[in-house]
Chains A and B, each alone.
Chain A
Amino acid sequence: DTGVSQDPRHKITKRGQNVTFRCDPISEHNRLYWYRQTLGQGPEFLTYFQNEAQLEKSRLLSDRFSAERPKGSFSTLEIQRTEQGDSAMYLCASSSLQPLKGYTFGSGTRLTVV
């Protein structure tokens, strides 16, 4: 068990460009979550997958954001036409179906839009 992996760790992009982040959850975890965290704030929920099905999306997830989890394994989060307000840490977490088990978070991808 190597934990939750996120790639890349850091990404600097110019405003208007598209970016894609990848998350590899713990292999036996069915549930996968994306969160966003800005400086000084707690993580904010973006979206949640159970296996390959995206079951909930936050209002924070504008039309420029899309997430996928093909085959219920790794997940990608794409941001199109990035804006400076998208600069944040993007965190991925996974958990098992057992409701009381804790989430395991990755170390995140820090996005800077210049």
Chain B
Amino acid sequence: DAKTTQPNSMESNEEEPVHLPCNHSTISGTDYIHWYRQLPSQGPEYVIHGLTSNVNNRMASLAIAEDRKSSTLILHRATLRDAAVYYCILRGVGGTSYGKLTFGQGTILTVHP
């Protein structure tokens, strides 16, 4: 599986934007970039995914570099409920792959009131 690199931790203040970076220099052409987050004492939760173009949904935005070797998850206005571990995952769907999710250690996001 292609590997992703994320900072161990980041901090933000409530109601400010948060940009969570992810490097994936060995990404292949068929790999989608997925983001999940895990709140304390819960299972991971799907946030967003993309291939080449930037994506927006009700939870977040995903900005993908033109060369696809990095991406950024953007939380437009952080709330205390956004404090979680955020995982950036490459998910292959080509050939016989069923798109297994392989988690790294993620980024621990702390949001200050």
- Chain A positions near chain B (C-beta within 8 angstroms): 4, 31, 33, 35, 40-45, 48, 50, 55-56, 91, 93, 99-100, 102-108
B44, A43: Cβ atoms closer than 8 Å = yes
What's the tally of chain B residues with a CB closer than 8 Å to chain A?
A: 24
CB contact list, B13-45 vs A, under 8 A: 32, 34, 36, 41-45
B100, A107: Cβ atoms closer than 8 Å = no
Given contacts A42-B105, A55-B98, 12 further A-B contacts (CB under 8 A): A33-B100, A42-B85, A44-B103, A48-B100, A50-B98, A91-B44, A99-B93, A100-B91, A102-B36, A102-B46, A102-B49, A103-B46
A42 to B43, CA, bound (A): 11
Q: Select A103's contact among B44, B97, B105, beta carbons within 8 Å.
A: B44
A75 to B49, CA, bound (A): 27
B100, A56: Cβ atoms closer than 8 Å = yes
Q: Select B43's contact among A41, A56, A106, beta carbons within 8 Å.
A: A106
A45, B98: Cβ atoms closer than 8 Å = no
Which residues of B lie under 8 Å from residue A99 when comparing CB positions?
Answer: 93, 97-99
B41, A42: Cβ atoms closer than 8 Å = no
Can you list 14 A-B contacts with CB-CB less than 8 angstroms, sorted by A residue number? Answer: A4-B43, A33-B101, A35-B103, A40-B105, A42-B85, A42-B104, A42-B105, A91-B44, A99-B93, A99-B99, A100-B91, A102-B36, A103-B36, A103-B46
Closest CB of chain B to A2's CB: distance in Å? 14
Assuming the contacts A42-B104, A45-B102, A55-B98, asked whether A108 and B43 have C-beta atoms less than 8 A apart, the reply is: yes
B103, A102: Cβ atoms closer than 8 Å = no
A-B complex: 10 closest residue pairs judged by Cβ atoms: A102-B46, A105-B43, A42-B103, A99-B93, A43-B103, A99-B99, A91-B43, A105-B44, A108-B43, A42-B105
